[in-house]
Amino acid sequence: MVSKRIGRAAGGKRKFLAIIDATTECVRAATYAAYRAKASGGGAVFLFVIEPGDFGHWIGVEKIMRAEAEEAANARLAKVADDIRERIGIEPELVVREGKVSEEIHALIEADREIAILVLAAGDAKEGPGPLVSAVAGRGPSFPIPVTVVPASLTDEEIEALS
């Protein structure tokens, strides 16, 4: 069960949660979340989820691979956040979690009751819009807050106009 959201009327700050990964289109989600946050006086939260690997019995290798994955996640988040700061002028919250993506999204939404909207980017590849967008559109786990799907083809100007 998801805790009740803390809205602006209760002193909360509406936050837009964008999922960051290695794809190019995730920047579209971050851009939309940042513009919406700026326009509404809210905040942007960028989440990078490190999916667990199967490292077998090699504990030392697992620790090294985990550290490398966390370093890569933090670097990716920093790069996206720097771009957003420069272009849009807001300071996003950066979160790194390890686990299954949909479970970690749910856990963060549960932990931060000001998160009000999940922003995903749809890929424009021939394989489809991406696993998260497909899950939202199909029979995957539903999210307890509204979901906005941003097409990868939108320009910054178009995203700003929509926000």
Q: Please give the mean pLDDT across all residues of the chain.
A: 86
Assess contact for 62 and 55: CB atoms under 8 A: yes
pLDDT reported for residue 138: 55
Helices 59-88 + 26-40 axis angle, to 10: 50
- Please, which pLDDT band fits residue 163 given cuts at 50, 70 and 90? confident
Q: Which residues pair with 17 in a beta bridge?
A: 45, 118
pLDDT reported for residue 11: 67
Cα distance between residue 90 and residue 87, in whole Å = 9
Which has more pLDDT, 115 or 3? 115
- Please, which pLDDT band fits residue 3 given cuts at 50, 70 and 90? low
DSSP state of 20: E
Which domains are present in the chain? 8-162 (3.40.50.620)
Instruction: Please give the average per-residue pLDDT across 16-45, as a whole number.
Output: 95
Dump pLDDT digits (tens) for 119-149.
999 877 666 555 666 555 555 567 789 999 9
Q: Is the pLDDT of residue 109 over 70?
A: yes
* Across 22-26, 54-58, 90-94, 119-123, least confident range: 54-58
What is this structure's pTM?
0.87
SS3 of residue 153 by DSSP:
coil
Cα distance between residue 115 and residue 36, in whole Å = 13
